[in-house]
Amino acid sequence: MMKRTPSLGPALYLIGMLLIGLYFTFAAVQGDYGVFRRAEVEAEARGLEKELASLRGEVARMENLTRRLSDDYLDLDLLDARAREVLGMIRADEIVIR
C-alpha cells in the first residue's frame, strides 16, 4: 500500500485566491476610489457648496452696492457713507473726536 501525500496545488490556489480577495477588499475600502476616499470627497464637496453659497451672497451684495452707486440709480446715503469711509470726509457741522 502506498501512502498518498496531499496535493499542494489546491492549497496554493486557495491561498492565492484569499490574498487576491484581501487585496481587492483593501482597495475597495482604502484605495483611490474606495469608501474612505468617497467620504472625503463628499465632505469636501459639501464644504465647497457652502463656500459657493457664501460667495454667491457676497456677489449679490456687491452687485446691489454697484447698482446703488451707478449713474442710473444713485443712493445718496450710500454715497455719503462711502465718501466718509474711503476719503475720510466729514460734514461741516460734525465734530471729530480722536
Question: In this predicted model, what pLDDT tens digit does every residue of 28-58 receive, in sequence order?
Answer: 999 888 899 999 999 999 999 999 999 999 9
What pLDDT is stored for residue 76 in this prediction?
85
Is the pTM above the cut of 0.85?
Answer: no
Q: 1 falls in which pLDDT band (50, 70, 90)?
A: low
Show the domain range for 82.
33-91
Question: What is the total count of domains within the chain?
Answer: 1
Computed on alpha carbons and rounded to an integer, the radius of gyration of the chain in Å comes to 35
Say if 84 falls within a structural domain.
Answer: yes
Say if 47 falls within a structural domain.
Answer: yes
Alpha helix locations (H) across the chain?
9-30, 35-68, 76-82
Say if 44 falls within a structural domain.
Answer: yes
Mean pLDDT of the chain: 89
Residue 71 in grid coordinates: 449713474
Say if 13 falls within a structural domain.
Answer: no
Q: 69 falls in which pLDDT band (50, 70, 90)?
A: confident
Say if 26 falls within a structural domain.
Answer: no
